[in-house]
C-alpha cells in the first residue's frame, strides 16, 4: 500500500513554495525561504492584519497562505 503525502502551496516573500501539509516551526519556514533569523516573519490574514510567526512557534500553514518579512515587527 502506498502513502500519498498531501502538499499545500504558500507564498513566502513573493515566492511560491509547495510544502508538506504539516506543522512547521517559524524557523523552518525561514529556512525554506533562506531568510535571516533576525527577520520577523508574519502571515497575512484575510482581513489584512499580520500575525507574527516567531522562530520557535509551531503553526500549520494553510493552502494559499502569504508570509512575508514585516518591518513593523522587525527587531533592532
Question: Using one digit for the tens of pLDDT, what is the confidence trace for 29-69?
Answer: 999 999 988 889 999 999 999 999 999 999 999 999 999 99
CATH number of the domain that residue 52 is part of: 3.10.20
Chain segment 8-27, per-residue pLDDT in tens: 999 999 999 999 999 999 99
The residues pairing with 17 across neighbouring beta strands, listed in sequence order, are: 10
Q: Domain total for the chain?
A: 1
Does residue 1 lie in a domain region?
Answer: no
- Retrieve residue 21's grid coordinates: 501539509
State how far Cα 12 lies from the chain centre. Answer: 6
pLDDT at position 13 is: 96
Residue 52 CB contacts under 8 Å (≥ 6 apart), including other chains? 40, 41, 42, 70, 73
pLDDT at position 76 is: 43
Which residue range(s) make up the domain with 34? 7-69
Q: Is it the case that residue 1 has pLDDT exceeding 70?
A: no
Rounded CA-CA distance 68/52 in Å is 10
pLDDT at position 72 is: 65
Amino acid at each position: 500500500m502506498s502513502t500519498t503525502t498531501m502538499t499545500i502551496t504558500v507564498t513566502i516573500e513573493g515566492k511560491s513554495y509547495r510544502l508538506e501539509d504539516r506543522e512547521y516551526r517559524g524557523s523552518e519556514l525561514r529556512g525554506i525561504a533562506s531568510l535571516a533569523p533576525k527577520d520577523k516573519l508574519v502571515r497575512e490574514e484575510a482581513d489584512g492584519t499580520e500575525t507574527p510567526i516567531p522562530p520557535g512557534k509551531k503553526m500549520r500553514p494553510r493552502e494559499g497562505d502569504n508570509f512575508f518579512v514585516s518591518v513593523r515587527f522587525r527587531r533592532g
